[in-house]
């Protein structure tokens, strides 16, 4: 039990880091946080597998109070950004397609992602969960190609952002989760 408590305390205090560099104000305890966009990817308590291809450069976008995902899409997801309680993370990716915004309903928080991908991310949507554990799926943005994927954050964790591989499109996506 003591080892479990130590591990829980360690996970609870994990700050988002960028290859060894702490991202300022990104706290797992729900305190003040700012949206962050950075090169090199972000390390979080839990990360999903990568969905999509291996092209593009790796960027991380995260905040502790994620409200919506925004960007541009057509038949593929071209660009991805976040709307956070305290501001927005700079979108990453290309400028094609039309604008989109996907949000969880009132009383729900982002708890995972789903969509389709091949060598690029074709479509993307959110899993949303409420305090009683009910899960809803938002609509998706993007096209109909690729193979289906999904990832839900572990219990008592929320979606805090993404690592993405990007060029003119979102080549691949990795969900980032932190404990409450």
Cβ atoms of 52 and 121 within 8 Å: the answer is yes
pLDDT tens-digit map of 53-76 = 999 999 999 987 888 999 999 999
Distance (Å, whole) CA 143 – CA 118 = 12
**Residue 40: C-alpha distances to residues 6, 25, 59, 72 (Å):** 29, 18, 5, 22
Cβ atoms of 62 and 82 within 8 Å: the answer is yes
pLDDT tens-digit map of 144-158 = 999 999 999 999 999
Cβ atoms of 164 and 53 within 8 Å: the answer is no
Cβ atoms of 159 and 136 within 8 Å: the answer is no
What are the strands, taking DSSP E only, across the chain?
17-18, 21-22, 36-39, 46-47, 51-52, 57-62, 66-73, 77-84, 87-93, 98-103, 109-117, 121-129, 135-137, 141-142, 147-152, 157-166, 170-179
The C-alpha angle 96, 101, 118, rounded to 5 degrees, equals 55
pLDDT tens-digit map of 72-115 = 999 999 999 999 887 777 799 999 999 999 999 999 999 999 99
Cβ atoms of 123 and 144 within 8 Å: the answer is yes
CATH number for 2-179 (one of 3.90.45.10, 3.60.20.10, 2.170.150.20, 2.100.10.30): it is 2.100.10.30
Cβ atoms of 112 and 126 within 8 Å: the answer is yes
Q: pTM of the prediction?
A: 0.79
């Amino acid at each position: 039990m003591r080892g479990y408590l130590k591990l829980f305390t360690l996970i609870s205090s994990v700050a988002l880091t960028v290859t060894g560099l702490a991202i300022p104000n990104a706290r797992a305890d729900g305190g003040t946080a700012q949206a962050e966009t950075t090169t090199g990817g972000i390390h979080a308590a839990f990360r999903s597998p990568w969905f999509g291809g291996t092209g593009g450069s790796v960027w991380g976008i995260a905040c502790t109070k994620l409200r919506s995902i925004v960007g541009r899409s057509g038949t593929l997801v071209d660009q991805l950004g976040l709307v956070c309680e305290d501001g927005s993370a700079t979108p990453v990716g290309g400028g094609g397609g039309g604008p989109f915004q996907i949000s969880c309903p009132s009383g729900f928080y982002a708890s995972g992602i789903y969509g389709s991908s091949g060598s690029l991310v074709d479509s993307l949507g959110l899993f949303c969960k409420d305090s009683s554990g009910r899960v809803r799926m938002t609509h998706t943005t993007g096209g109909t190609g690729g193979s289906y994927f999904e990832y839900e954050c572990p219990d008592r964790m929320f979606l805090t952002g993404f690592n993405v591989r990007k060029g003119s499109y979102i080549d691949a996506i990795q969900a980032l989760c932190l404990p409450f």
